[in-house]
Amino acid sequence: MKNFEPKRLIALILALITLTCMFASCANTPDDPSENDGTTATPATDPSGLVDTAPTGTEAQTDEWGRPYVESPTAADTKLPDDTVITVLMRDSATWNRELYSESETGDMLNDEIYNRNLKLEEDLNFKFEFIKSPTKEDSQRTIIAEYESGGTSDLDLVMNYAYYSTGAALRNCYENLHNIGTMNVNHPWWNQTYVEAATIQDQLYFIIGDLNLSVVDRSLAIYYNATLANDYQLGNLYDVVLNGEWTIDKLLEYTKDTWVDTNQSGTIDLPDQIGIISILGSEAYDGFLTAFGVDILAKNADGGLDIIWDSEKVSSAIDQQITLFSDNNGAFLHSNHTELCNKFVNNESLFWLYTIYASSSTNQSLRSMASNYGLLPIPKYNLDQDNYYTTAQDAYGIMSVMATSRQLDAVGTVFEEWNYRSYMDILPVYCEVIMKTRYLNDVESGMIFDLILDSIKFDTGMVYGSEIESIATSTRAIVKSGNNTFAKEFKAKQRVYQSKIKKLIEDFESRNK
């Protein structure tokens, strides 16, 4: 996602202040969960031909948010055949399906934008959506999809599924290669290009994320900091630390070391105590660091295969740093209940909170009502030599696929493209510039960091297909949790298994090209 130049942000802020009866105060407004994928940066040379790339020396046309103007991929007079229905299978929890669907207008800004986006899309293209909710549990949803596929039914067109558990061979058998749908172009700027690159193997792409998928930015990993405690610890301006490129893991260790205050005199670090950094005892705490440290796991080779390319020495060092952070520096606490962690942060009992940008409406409400100011920071870099900050999304975000059994693939492609285009044009700016920056974040600097984080989201083929490769992308999680760095030994022991799983994965893709 490209940062928005706030051409009309001032006008919007004034409108928000004036129309307080409409948008209420943060404490009383129903929460609009976070939104868009936010990582679909427009390429410098746009292969889609839709972005206005003006000749050198001339000014390119921009939209109302300061972005390069992008035309719709759909001709204005496009109409699908009468009685066309596009059926979408989605997870049953509103936490996950809100990015796709809203039953009605409620007065909630993002909800209403999504409702009207869908309604206008149906009217313009002459079709109707049918949304089917399936159990959020990944096994249940896989079973439902497989039943549709095995029955040869054409009743299901699009699927939104749980990212980590949904890229295996059994589900690939159910889906169409998106490169083969003539009404789609995955080079368009509303498709997440780092995910497209990571998920494409042998010119085959069965899963995609775009600006429709709010859950990607919702689940992007970041660090909140408590401004009151940062001032108490005399840490200075943390935004300057980030923007000057000095926000490294060593700096985070420095700020959190020996911050523990044994409030309840139990003799051990526990929930009531004052802590330097808190996080969920799970993927949220562990899985973002390799990406943040610039570690790539797999790379495609000239033969169409995959090679393990991670720097074992750097991975081992990264594990040492995480073990120091979470086990050895007397300033960290991991816990399984995110509500209790949120309360701890809100109550000035933790300096930092490593979590996702957005978790739930109740969490968001708690943050916005806290007495102290809070700020947003990226996960730190590995060292000062690293040029950029990086993050990734915790693996529960939604990915989209097109059912191979659909008998209207061209219509599905048309709707899917335009759905994401309108999310790029209408939903993404509302979320970023209005909901996030004027309701959720406390200051302009946090908004800048928010943009930096969204621009730094990246995916790796080892993440996308990790469930098929012995969970290689998350293999360091248990090692960090144990507090004992056995990476070298475990990687050596598993290397042949990884290679075998990669070979099987590539053979599956090769078989589909025959």
Instruction: With beta carbons less than 8 A apart as the criterion, state whether 427 and 213 touch.
Output: no
Q: What CATH number did the domain enclosing 373 receive?
A: 3.40.190.10
Confidence band, pLDDT 50/70/90 cuts, at residue 20: very low
Residue 445 belongs to a domain: no
Query: In which order are the strands placed within the sheet that holds 84-91?
Result: 127-134, 84-91, 158-162, 398-402
> Which tokens go with 464?
């996308």
Place 171 in a pLDDT band, splitting at 50, 70 and 90. Answer: confident
Residue 260: pLDDT band with limits 50, 70, 90: very high
Query: Helices H, strands E: what count in the chain?
Result: 22, 11
Identify the pLDDT of residue 1: 46
pLDDT of 40: 36
Residues 140 and 17 in one domain: yes
Say yes or no: 71 and 197 in one domain.
Answer: yes
Per-residue model confidence (pLDDT) at position 137: 59
As a residue count, the chain comes to 514
DSSP result, 420-476: HHHIIIIIHHIIIIIIIIIII-SSHHHHHHHHHHHHTB---HHHHTGGGTTTGGGTT
Token reading at 82: 């009468």
* CA–CA separation, 508 and 513 (whole Å): 9
Above 70 in pLDDT, residue 373? Answer: yes
Residues 184 and 248 in one domain: no
Which DSSP symbol is given to 3? P
**Mean pLDDT along residues 246-250:** 98
Same domain, 21 and 163: yes
Same domain, 379 and 492: yes
Do 431 and 470 belong together in one domain? no
Residue 362 lies in a domain: yes
Q: Using one digit for the tens of pLDDT, what is the confidence trace for 418-471?
A: 999 999 999 988 988 888 888 888 789 999 999 999 999 999 999 999 999 999
Both 90 and 169 in one domain: the answer is yes
449: left (phi over 0), alpha (psi -120 to 50) or beta: alpha
pLDDT category of residue 96 using cuts at 50, 70 and 90? confident
Q: What is the pLDDT of residues 48-85, one digit of tens each?
A: 556 655 555 556 788 888 888 899 999 999 999 999 99
Number of domains in the chain: 2
Confidence of residue 25 (pLDDT cuts 50, 70, 90): very low
pLDDT at 498: 97
Phi and psi at 376, nearest 5°, equal -120, 135
Q: Residue 232 contacts by C-beta under 8 Å, 6 or more apart in sequence?
A: none
17 & 107 share domain? yes
Share of the chain above pLDDT 90, in %: 70
Q: Extract the tokens encoding 291.
A: 């990406």
Its domain, for residue 428, covers 9-217+395-440
Has residue 39 got a pLDDT over 50?
no
The answer to whether the CB of 423 falls within 8 A of the CB of 210 is yes
What is the model's pLDDT at position 18? 35
Are 271 and 365 found together in one domain? yes
Asked if residue 159 and residue 231 are part of one domain, the reply reads: no
How is residue 432 written in tokens?
Answer: 């970023």
Please indicate, yes or no, whether residues 160 and 48 belong to a single structural domain of this protein: yes
Phi, psi angle pair for 86, to nearest 5°:
-105, 115
Instruction: Check residue 58 and give its pLDDT.
Output: 58
